[in-house]
Structures are given as structure tokens and as C-alpha cells.
Amino acid sequence: MTEVAKALRDKTAVCGVGLLLGNYPDRTALSLAVDAYQLALDDAGLKREDVDGIIQLSFGYDYDRFLEAVGTDVRYAYQGWSHGRFVAPMLQHAAMAVATGMARAVAIVHGRRRRPYGQTADHEMWRQGLGPHGESPAYGALGPVFGAAIAAQRYFHMYGGSNEDLAPIAMAFRRHARLNPVAVRRSPMSKEDYLNSRWIIEPLRLFDCCQNNDGGACLIITSAERARDCRKPPVYISGMQGVHAGRQFHNLTLPGLGVAQQEVYKYRPTKEDLHAYEMAGITHQDVDALITYDAFSPLVLFGLERFGFCGPGEAREFVKDGRIEIGGELPVNTSGGLLSEGHVIGWNLFIEAVRQLRHECGERQVRDAEIVQYGSFLGETVIFRR
């Protein structure tokens, strides 16, 4: 580990969050983002003059239009590609900008409509050499869910099991969502309900897929020192590591599953694969709750195995018997996740991590939560501490 990594542990913090989630038929993406920004400023007890950095993933309006709209000038602006895997890196950039003095406080803002106004159709699937989730439209290989379906099929082929093994994940997150007043999907889900939900792409059913909804989100990152003067208790950023990418890291897949051009082998994380734990000075056993990107249920299996919570092929047993539920061995996605709380590109997952560590989650609070990890199948992670 580098000296800088050691020095940065717990030196930056999340000081304010704002979230809107649901149906806002008459609101634009911009107006949802502005609303979330106001909520986060209020949550932190900050004024917009205190914010001098902005980061966002583009969704129909760009960072400069947002800044015009909120009447703020910043000295650090950055914008990335709107995919869930880039949510953690955005937060990491914010922490690094604050740590290096490029900004005093960075607001990460997001606004999105389920059905965008006036946007052209999505051309991503036609990219040179297959789409970002392996799509190939001429062959009917369509949609992000395709990437998750081919990964799940390979997982079941290598380790045994079938679609039914995903039911405990969907059901656990639905139980969590029922304790979350803002969750989009809150009706009870029995195993029968799960098995009766229609196939989307076999081996995945409707309830293995998140839904789209309107939403806005904002997180404000500042120095640990400044965060202690804010309205709410700071949530420190203890450790982090980036999105792993390349031929062995196909999107929506764990390394080793043989998706696309990946090699086939049983993945076990190496020391280097777990840099964030070293930076935070913890092991996975210190994690009180795991928050993982769950646009599709198999991704939860991959997230658990990526960080060594389970050995190769063992996650499908681990998720059973309430182990990933609140009160279980390792509560996962305590808000209901993207599967049941809603999809705000993953920002809502980070906001849940913050709220758990502030102990403001009411009925779904993980008791005495001290360390919450956001960590996903591509290896990107942020470890938070209260």
C-alpha cells in the first residue's frame, strides 16, 4: 500500500445526501437533480457557496447546465458515462479532489427520467465489437439484461444450480424494501410469486431485474474535518479501489466465468484484488453490511465472491436462510437495492450506506453498524465508516 493511500484513510467524508425516487411525470431530469442538490445541502447544513466541485454522470443535461441552473461556479467539474459501474469511481474522484485540495466540497448530482424527453434512441448496442453488456442487435442479443443472463448461465453451468437459486436474493431485498417508505416495489414476494414472474431472458425472470423509475440524487463529499462541523455525523471514506476492466472483466460478470472472451477458471480474489480493505485497515469480516450493485439478481452472487465473502460457487448457498437479510450474518442491500427500492443508477445504494452509518434507517437499521462496504462484481468498492 502506498503512503498516500495510508494517509487518506478516513480523511474525507460524506456530509450530505439527498434522494428522490419514484414517479415524477412532470419533472425533467434537471429539475430532479436540482431538487436533490437542495436536499443534500440542507442535510449537510451547507450553502451552495460552500460547494466548489461538481461531478455527474450525464443523463440528458450536462454539468454546466446544472451549474447555470443552480447559480453556482465551481473550480472542479467532471462528468462521466452514465453506467452504474461508474458510480463508485465518481465518488472516488470526489474524495480525491477534496483530499488534494482541488475542491473543498464536491457535490455529486444526478437526475434522470424513466422516459427521457427529446433524447435520441440508445445506440450503445451497435458499438464496434458488441455493446457494453455484450449486445449484438442483429442476433437478438438485446438490452443490459443480456449481459447478466449470459453470466448467470455460465455460473450455473460451472457450479450447478439454476434460476431458483436467485429467489432468495429477490425475496430478501423485497423484505428490506418493505421496511423502506420510499421503495418503489413494496408488495410482499413469496417464493411462488418469484417463480410465477415471467421469463425475461432465461435463466432470468422479471423479478431478477430492477425497474426503471424517475429519480434524483446528490451526495456531498468534503474533508473529514469540515464534515465534523456539518449538521449530521460524518460518514468517513476509509478505503477504495477502482473498476477492474479488460478482457477478463466483462460487464455484469465475475472474472473466470468465460463470458465473451474471458478465460474459464474459479475466481478467488488475490491480495491486490482487495486493496481497499488494506487501505481501510479491515478485512471482509469487519463489514457490518454489504451494498452491492444489483440491477440484476445474479450480480449479488458475483459481488459476494468478488470480495471473498464466499468461495467460488458458494454464494448461491450463502444467500439462503436469511444470511443476507437484516439481522443475518451479512445484511446486503438493506434499502431493497435497485431490485426493489428503485434505480437511481446506484446513487441510492450509496445513500443507503451513509444512512445506515448515521443510524437513521429506522426499522431496517443494521444494529450497531460501524462499517458498510459498497462493493461490486467489477471490483470497485468504497468502504465507509462512522
Q: Which residues bind other proteins (CB under 8 A)?
A: 121, 123, 126, 128-130, 134, 136-143, 146, 149-150, 153-154, 157, 198-203, 247, 258-261
- Smallest separation, CB 148 to other proteins (Å): 10
Task: Measure the CA–CA gap between 335 and 198, rounded to whole angstroms.
Answer: 24
Task: Measure the CA–CA gap between 213 and 146, rounded to whole angstroms.
Answer: 20
Residues 6+ apart with CB under 8 A from 350: 14, 17, 87, 91, 219, 291, 374, 382
User: Residue 252 CB: number of other CB atoms within 10 A?
Assistant: 27
- CA angle, residues 327, 287, 14, in degrees to nearest 5: 105
- Smallest separation, CB 89 to other proteins (Å): 24
CB–CB of 250/262 below 8 Å?
yes
Note every long-range contact of 91-97, with CB atoms under 8 Å and residues 24 or more positions apart, other chains counting. 91/219, 91/221, 91/237, 91/240, 91/350, 91/382, 92/240, 92/242, 92/382, 93/55, 94/12, 94/53, 94/55, 94/219, 94/221, 95/8, 95/12, 95/221, 95/237, 95/240, 97/53
- Smallest separation, CB 212 to other proteins (Å): 14
- Smallest separation, CB 359 to other proteins (Å): 41
Amino acid of residue 331 = P
By beta-carbon proximity to other proteins, the closer residue of 158 and 182 is 158
- Smallest separation, CB 183 to other proteins (Å): 24
- Smallest separation, CB 153 to other proteins (Å): 6
User: Residue 118 CB: number of other CB atoms within 10 A?
Assistant: 6
CB–CB of 44/67 below 8 Å?
no
DSSP string, 70-124: HT---SEEEEE---GGGHHHHHHHHHHHHHTTS-SEEEEEEEE-SS-SSPPPP-G
DSSP secondary structure code for residue 365 in this structure = P
By beta-carbon proximity to other proteins, the closer residue of 143 and 322 is 143
By beta-carbon proximity to other proteins, the closer residue of 41 and 149 is 149
- Smallest separation, CB 213 to other proteins (Å): 19
- CA Rg, the chain, in Å? 20
- Smallest separation, CB 262 to other proteins (Å): 9
By beta-carbon proximity to other proteins, the closer residue of 209 and 218 is 209
Residues 6+ apart with CB under 8 A from 23: 114, 213, 214
What would the grid cell of residue 138 be?
Answer: 442483429
- Smallest separation, CB 273 to other proteins (Å): 22
